[in-house]
Amino acid sequence: MKLKNIRWWIVGLLLAISIKNFIDRQMFSILAPTIQTDLGMSDAQYGQIVSFFLAAYAVAYLLSGRLVDALGARLGMGISLALWSVSSALTGFARSSGAVAGCRIGLGLGEAGGYTASPKVVSEWFPDKERGLATSIYAVGASVGATVAPLLVIFLAGRYGWRGTFVVSGVLGLLVVIPWLILFRPLSRHPWVTEQEKKHILEGQVTEPSGQAAPVTETGRWRAIIGSPIIWALMGARLLTDPVWYFLQFWMPKYLHTDRGLTQASG
């Protein structure tokens, strides 16, 4: 069986995974008032759990990058998605703030893999002129996920409670692993890609001339990264914007509940 334009099916699945990533990330902050009441969790403990998640997420970017390089995008993404989905589901069984913290650490370790595997998928499956569009398609999943998360989470919590919401979300994530493992393969070994599409992809990928440059060492790669003004400009921009973004992401729902009286039922 051959599937026409399979590369766009793949990037569509990346979009779905990206949306799922942000929904799972925001569930804790949206349900925080209910969870805190049920588990006797203070605001300080809530803040510590958020910090544990972000620390695990930061460390996992380096770890997941090596994992994806070693295992490939197919297994790397599958393992990451499975890890954060299991961590999300287990949150529904947590009986203490420490247990919730452990689950959120697992979520952070898993979620970073989605954003290290996705660029590798695009580099393998798209010609240079289409990579910007492909990347923008899955990257918009962050905004879509952040937008639909409150509506979806509140809907599920109203029917299954906060514990059931985490379990349902985790199970759905595990189910997404199945189509990912079925649909994605390396381009050279994919049984469904047409010869026309393969030719279109390969002819549009720029390759370095062989035999003209010495292999780049690991030290050389890090020197090139650290010495790049573009990298420093990007890191500087993220250092200025990310604290604001994550503060709003994790603390705005609590502010709306505590100071504005917004409840899950009214939401």
- CATH number assigned to the domain covering 6-205: 1.20.1250.20
Q: How far apart are CA 124 and CA 121, in angstroms?
A: 5
Query: Is residue 242's pLDDT more than 70?
Result: yes
* Rounded average pLDDT over 240-256: 82
* Rounded average pLDDT over 91-112: 95
Q: What is the pLDDT of residues 44-65, one digit of tens each?
A: 999 999 999 999 999 998 888 8
| Confidence category of residue 2, pLDDT binned at 50, 70, 90 | confident
* Structure-block tokens of residue 99: 């247990």
| Contact partners, residue 250, CB within 8 Å, separation at least 6 | 28, 29, 50
Q: What is the pLDDT of residues 103-135, one digit of tens each?
A: 999 999 999 998 899 999 999 999 999 999 999
Q: Cα–Cα–Cα angle for 252, 156, 109, nearest 5°? A: 60
Query: Is residue 202's pLDDT more than 80?
Result: yes
To the nearest whole percent, how much of the chain has pLDDT over 90? 69
Instruction: Give the pLDDT score at 181.
Output: 95
Q: How far apart are CA 65 and CA 174, in angstroms?
A: 21
| Confidence category of residue 244, pLDDT binned at 50, 70, 90 | confident
The domain ranges of the chain are: 6-205
Query: Is residue 215's pLDDT more than 70?
Result: no
Instruction: Give the pLDDT score at 264.
Output: 60
Plot region of 210 (φ>0 → left; ψ -120 to 50 → alpha; else → beta)? beta
Instruction: Give the pLDDT score at 253.
Output: 76
* Rounded average pLDDT over 8-15: 96
Question: Cβ of 151: how many Cβ atoms within 10 Å?
Answer: 11
* Structure-block tokens of residue 226: 């650290």
Query: Do 93 and 163 form a contact (C-beta atoms < 8 A)?
Result: yes
Tokens 């917004």 belong to 262
Query: Is residue 233's pLDDT more than 90?
Result: yes
| CA nearest neighbour of 107 among 64, 153, 57 | 57
How confident is the prediction for the chain on average, in pLDDT?
89
Instruction: Give the pLDDT score at 212.
Output: 52
Q: How far is CA 25 from CA 28, 160, 170, 194, in A?
A: 7, 19, 12, 37
* Rounded average pLDDT over 82-107: 96
Q: Is the pTM of this model over 0.75?
A: yes
Tokens 């959120």 belong to 104
* Rounded average pLDDT over 175-201: 93
Could you give the count of Cα atoms lying within 13 Å of 119 in the half-sphere of its Cβ?
8
Instruction: Give the pLDDT score at 179.
Output: 95
Q: Any idea which of 26-40, 112-126, 146-160, 207-221 has the lowest mean pLDDT?
A: 207-221
Q: How far apart are CA 256 and CA 263, in angstroms?
A: 8
CA dihedral 169, 185, 113, 215 (to 10 degrees): 180
Could you give the count of Cα atoms lying within 13 Å of 219 in the half-sphere of its Cβ?
0
